């Protein structure tokens, strides 16, 4: 628990830095939708943001516990936050395969279409706004959670690795042909898994 507490702070900061750029376009749409919402646009927008952040704080807590557990089992380097060869291979392969999965495709489509998400999932009231934020956060987690697990491969302390993953997430969500970008990224991850396994 003592080890997980500082790790939680680190993961929460990383999630905020990595997810905010790709979340901003959707949050702008949600804020406009909240202008007509009761109990007022400020409260509704805050509830949406709070629900979204709650999901990623939950993920940060799980990641922090996982990091502490893996370090205690000597599977993860405390200095670099990097897994060994075999675990890295498995994480890369799992992330790469997920990029091609129906679950990834469904979650990515929700993240790429914020207006459609509003029309489908918006509910009135403060509780509705909070639930809306949580639901969007869960779809976002479904879209990006495996990519965040790659931090254990390249090193949770690596700013360059964080930037690369954040850039891929942003490209998937906002650029044209986001699904093709996701699949291409998945192919690279699978190839990297093979390379790591063979080359060690």
pTM over 0.75: yes
What's the first-to-final CA gap in the chain, in angstroms? 32
Taking each helix axis as running N to C, give the angle between helix 102-112 and helix 178-199, from 0 to 180 degrees, rounded to the nearest 10.
140
Tell me, what DSSP letter sits at residue 124? S
- Residues 6+ away with beta carbon under 8 Å from 43: 126, 129
pLDDT truncated to tens, each residue of the chain (200 aa)? 556 678 899 999 999 889 888 888 888 888 787 776 656 778 888 888 999 999 999 999 999 999 999 988 888 888 888 898 999 999 999 999 999 999 999 999 999 998 888 888 888 888 888 999 999 999 999 999 999 999 999 988 889 999 999 999 999 999 999 999 999 999 999 999 999 999 87
């Amino acid at each position: 628990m003592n080890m997980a507490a500082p790790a939680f702070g680190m993961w929460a900061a990383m999630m905020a830095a990595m997810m905010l750029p790709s979340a901003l376009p959707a949050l702008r749409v949600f804020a406009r939708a909240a202008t007509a919402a009761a109990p007022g646009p400020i409260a509704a927008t805050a509830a949406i943001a709070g629900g979204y952040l709650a999901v990623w704080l939950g993920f940060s807590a799980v990641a922090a516990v996982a990091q502490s557990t893996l370090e205690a089992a000597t599977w993860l380097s405390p200095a670099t936050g990097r897994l060994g060869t075999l675990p890295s291979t498995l994480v890369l392969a799992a992330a790469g395969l997920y990029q091609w999965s129906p679950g990834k495709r469904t979650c990515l489509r929700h993240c790429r279409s914020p207006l459609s998400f509003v029309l489908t999932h918006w509910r009135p009231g403060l509780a509705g706004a909070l639930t809306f934020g949580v639901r969007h956060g869960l779809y976002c987690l479904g879209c990006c959670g495996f990519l965040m697990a790659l931090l254990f491969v390249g090193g949770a302390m690596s700013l360059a690795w964080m930037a690369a993953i954040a850039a891929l997430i942003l490209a998937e969500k906002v650029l044209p042909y986001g699904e093709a970008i996701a699949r291409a990224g998945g192919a690279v991850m699978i190839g990297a898994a093979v390379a790591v396994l063979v080359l060690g």
